[in-house]
């Protein structure tokens, strides 16, 4: 986590400096605004990762530990990986028809809207399907957000460079 947030906040800082130099030297608005946007966008992202890292009290995840073993991560909930789904294609087609409506006239919203709304519903119902989520996984997911450092106290991973 540490390298992640440091890299992004570093990029944000760099853009901030460039932005300041550019503004004082050129006093040109568009470029300044764009650089400011870059600075803020990366700040938001890097700041979020920094908060996550703080929330873990700086305890490295297994992918951040140089000597992590596979065994220590057994049973960890990795994520939800559906094998196949029709809803993204429906939503994509809807998105394309939004584009077509912007070219050839508002009439095409009649096709675009039902496709998008239908796919949004199908998509979210699919993720919620209760029989697909075993109880332990659901429980683990709930606890995920506030990890108690005592649980992982035996990690004495070396600090990252």
Partner 1 sequence: MTIIQDRPGPQPGAPHGTLVEEPLTEFVPGPRPRGWVKFITSTDHKQIGLNYMVTAFIGFLTAGLMAEGMRTQLIAPNNHFVTPDIYDQLLTMHGTIMLFVFLGPFAFGLANYIVPLQIGAPDMAFPRFNNLSYWLYLGGFIVMTGGFLTNNGAANFGWFGYAPLTNAIHAPGPGADMWLIGIALTGFSGIFTAVNTITTVFCLRAPGMVMFRMPIFVWNQLVTMFLVLLAFPVLTSALGLLWADRHLNTHFYEPGGGGQPILWQHLFWFFGHPEVYILALPYFGVVTEVIATMSKKPVFGYKGMIGATLSIGGLSMGVWAHHMYTTGAVLLPFFAALSLLIAVPTGIKFFNWIGTMWRGTITLNTAMLFTVGFLAMFLFGGITGVVLAQPPLDFQLHNTYFVVAHFHYVMFGGSVFAVFASIYYWFPKYTGRMLDERLGKLSFALLFIGFNLTFFPQHDLGLRGMSRRIAVYDSNLGYNFLNALSTTGAYITGIGVIPTLINIFKSMRTGAIAGDNPWDGQTLEWATSSPPPDHNFESLPPIRSERPLWDANHPDELTRVGH
Which residues contact partner 1 by CB under 8 A? 3-4, 7-8, 10-11, 14-15, 18, 21-22, 25-26, 28, 30-31, 34-35, 37-38, 41-42, 49, 62-89, 91-93, 95-96, 99-100, 102-104, 123, 126, 129, 132-134, 137, 160-161
Neighbours of 128 (CB within 10 A): 9
Minimal distance in Å, beta carbon 119 to partner 1?
9
Q: Which is nearer to partner 1, 57 or 104 (CB)?
A: 104
46 class by beta-carbon count within 10 Å (0-12 exposed, 13-18 middle, 19+ buried):
buried
Distance CA(112)–CA(48), nearest Å, equals 34
Q: Which is nearer to partner 1, 86 or 121 (CB)?
A: 86
Q: Which is nearer to partner 1, 72 or 114 (CB)?
A: 72
Minimal distance in Å, beta carbon 154 to partner 1?
15
Torsion angles phi and psi, residue 140, rounded to 5:
-60, -40
Minimal distance in Å, beta carbon 149 to partner 1?
19
Minimal distance in Å, beta carbon 150 to partner 1?
21
Distance CA(23)–CA(29), nearest Å, equals 8
Minimal distance in Å, beta carbon 58 to partner 1?
15
Q: Which is nearer to partner 1, 70 or 107 (CB)?
A: 70
Distance CA(50)–CA(39), nearest Å, equals 16
Torsion angles phi and psi, residue 6, rounded to 5:
-65, -40
Q: Which is nearer to partner 1, 83 or 150 (CB)?
A: 83
Is the CB of residue 62 less than 8 Å from the CB of residue 2?
A: no
């Amino acid at each position: 986590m540490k390298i992640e947030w440091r890299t992004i906040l570093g990029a944000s800082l760099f853009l901030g400096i460039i932005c300041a130099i550019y503004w004082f030297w050129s006093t040109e608005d568009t470029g300044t605004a764009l650089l400011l946007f870059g600075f803020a966008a990366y700040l938001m992202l890097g700041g979020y990762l920094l908060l996550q890292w703080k929330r873990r009290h700086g305890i490295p995840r297994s992918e951040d530990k140089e000597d992590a073993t596979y065994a220590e991560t057994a049973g960890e909930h990795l994520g939800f990986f559906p094998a196949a789904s029709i809803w993204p294609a429906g939503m994509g087609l809807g998105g394309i028809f939004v584009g077509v409506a912007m070219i050839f006239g508002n009439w095409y919203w009649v096709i675009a809207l039902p496709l998008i709304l239908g796919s949004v519903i199908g998509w979210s119902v699919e993720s919620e399907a209760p029989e697909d989520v075993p109880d332990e996984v659901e429980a683990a997911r709930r606890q995920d957000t506030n990890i108690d450092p005592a649980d992982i106290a035996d990690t004495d991973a070396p600090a990252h460079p």
